[in-house]
Amino acid sequence: MKTKQEIEKIADNYIDNMESRSFWDSFISGYETCQKEYEEKLHWIPVEERLPENREHVLIKVLRSDKSTYIVTGSIVLDSKLGIYWQSGNATQLNVTHWLSLSFL
């Protein structure tokens, strides 16, 4: 038979363990939320899915004719006379496949 002091110690340890577990669960939940938000900000967006704002500087993945890709900064230009095109430096004939916002930097 356990004494009152032993039972109180067991109860205290149980409560401490539950508080610690509750803290840990909250920590993990917060971490997972932050990780999801961070990954969403670092998500390469296919140009078929969505385009950035007009003239917003973003990172772009450009597809070369040999099917390799490279990454540069650039922007999409919506021009009433020339239409829609991607621009990076002086280059305007770009086959852009994805873009990534720089707003998280």
Give the residue extent of every domain in the chain.
1-41, 45-101
Q: What percent of the chain has pLDDT over 70?
A: 86
Q: Is 86 exposed, middle or buried (0-12, 13-18, 19+ CB in 10 A)?
A: buried
Beginning with the edge strand found earlier in the chain, give each strand of the sheet holding 45-46 in spatial order: 45-46, 96-101, 58-63, 69-79, 83-87
Cα R_g (the chain), whole angstroms: 27
pLDDT band at residue 67, thresholds of 50, 70 and 90? very high
Mean pLDDT computed over 50-77: 93
Residue 63 bridge partners (DSSP): 69
Look at residue 26 and tell me whether its pLDDT is greater than 90: no
Indicate whether this model's pTM tops 0.75.
no
pLDDT tens for each residue of 88-98:
988 888 999 99
First-residue to last-residue Cα distance in the chain = 63
User: Where residue 38 falls among pLDDT bands split at 50, 70, 90?
Assistant: confident
Q: What six digits make up the tokens of 83?
A: 């239409």
